[in-house]
């Protein structure tokens, strides 16, 4: 079987900086020979994703600004990608957001606005993006999203984002069921805690990592590279029979009671 991704094009959404999980995925797919297309929001992150992408040797990546709260922005982005590259073979959705003040304290106090914002950016965006990307997946494809254990079990402080990830997980399964007939697979990676910009300033990240080091089967945290390698598997033909699945890349922490 050909494990190279040469001749294939993948859209990576959600690189904010070099610590982003999306960047770990981008590097793994680049090493496998893939052509990459990046989307970002806001000029600040546009510049940083450009600088990072320039470090990928032999790659002439393309960049598009895409705010997933805006249907028009999503449609425009994928129309432009279609015009510029034609067929795409996969998409990595590495996007989530909730108001910082609702990622601690009493879940009971979650506001309607905060709840809907988390659902809008962190879950619905997958449906909207899949719909816009589908016409470009003329040879079938693989859509991947990022989830967290807090959508399956109650994790302290994850709160409104836990409900959004439960929604994202179901969203992923319904999309997998819907798009299977088009040979488009849809899966999620559930990553263990990784220190990224999103993780900054939320909860007590150090104590969460200490718990992983003490209790996870592998007794260590996972890295962006490890998530990237599983993303490579999901984008490659090795995973051709896999859809609607959540793969935990979390040192096995989810099996511990």
Binding to ligand N5H (CB under 6 A) within 30-69 occurs at none
Instruction: Say which of 64, 158, 232, 233 is annotated catalytic.
Output: 158
| Stretch of residues binding ligand N5H (CB under 6 A), selected from 95-103, 125-133, 135-143, 171-179 | 95-103
Binding partner selected for residue 64 from ligand NDP, ligand N5H, none, CB under the kind-specific 5 to 8 Å limit: none
Binding partner selected for residue 155 from ligand N5H, ligand NDP, none, CB under the kind-specific 5 to 8 Å limit: ligand N5H
Binding partner selected for residue 150 from ligand NDP, ligand N5H, none, CB under the kind-specific 5 to 8 Å limit: ligand N5H
Instruction: Say which of 10, 40, 64, 148 is annotated catalytic.
Output: 148
Judge whether 158 counts as a catalytic residue. yes
Judge whether 40 counts as a catalytic residue. no
CB 11 within 8 A of CB 90: yes
Binding partner selected for residue 217 from ligand N5H, ligand NDP, none, CB under the kind-specific 5 to 8 Å limit: none
Instruction: State the helix-helix crossing angle for 159-179 and 112-119, rounded to 10 degrees.
Output: 40
Can you tell me which of 64, 158, 232, 233 binds ligand N5H, judged by CB under 6 A? Answer: 158
The residues annotated with a catalytic role in the active site are 148, 158
Q: Which residues bind ligand N5H (CB under 6 A)?
A: 16, 96-100, 103, 148, 150, 155, 157-158, 161, 193, 197-199, 202-203, 208
């Amino acid at each position: 079987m050909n494990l190279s991704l040469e001749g294939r094009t993948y859209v990576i959404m959600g690189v904010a900086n070099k610590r982003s999980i999306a960047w770990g995925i981008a590097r793994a797919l680049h090493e496998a020979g893939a052509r990459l297309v990046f989307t970002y929001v806001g000029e600040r992150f546009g510049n940083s994703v450009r600088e990072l992408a320039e470090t990928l040797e032999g790659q002439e990546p393309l960049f598009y600004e895409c705010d997933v709260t805006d249907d028009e922005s999503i449609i425009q982005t994928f129309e432009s990608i279609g015009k510029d590259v034609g067929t795409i073979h996969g998409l990595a959705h590495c996007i989530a957001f909730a108001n910082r003040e609702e990622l601690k304290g009493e879940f009971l106090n979650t506001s309607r606005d905060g709840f809907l914002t988390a659902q809008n950016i962190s879950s619905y965006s997958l449906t909207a993006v899949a719909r816009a990307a589908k016409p470009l997946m003329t040879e079938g494809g693989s859509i991947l999203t990022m989830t967290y254990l807090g959508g399956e079990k109650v994790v302290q402080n994850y709160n409104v984002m836990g409900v959004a990830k439960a929604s994202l997980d179901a969203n992923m399964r319904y999309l997998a069921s819907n798009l299977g007939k088009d040979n488009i697979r849809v899966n999620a990676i559930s990553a263990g805690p990784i220190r990224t910009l999103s993780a900054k300033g939320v909860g007590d990240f150090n104590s969460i990592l200490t718990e992983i080091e003490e209790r996870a089967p592998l007794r260590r945290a996972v890295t962006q590279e490890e998530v990237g390698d599983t993303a490579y598997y999901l984008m490659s033909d090795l995973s051709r029979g896999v859809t609607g699945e959540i793969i935990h890349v979390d040192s096995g922490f989810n099996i511990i009671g």
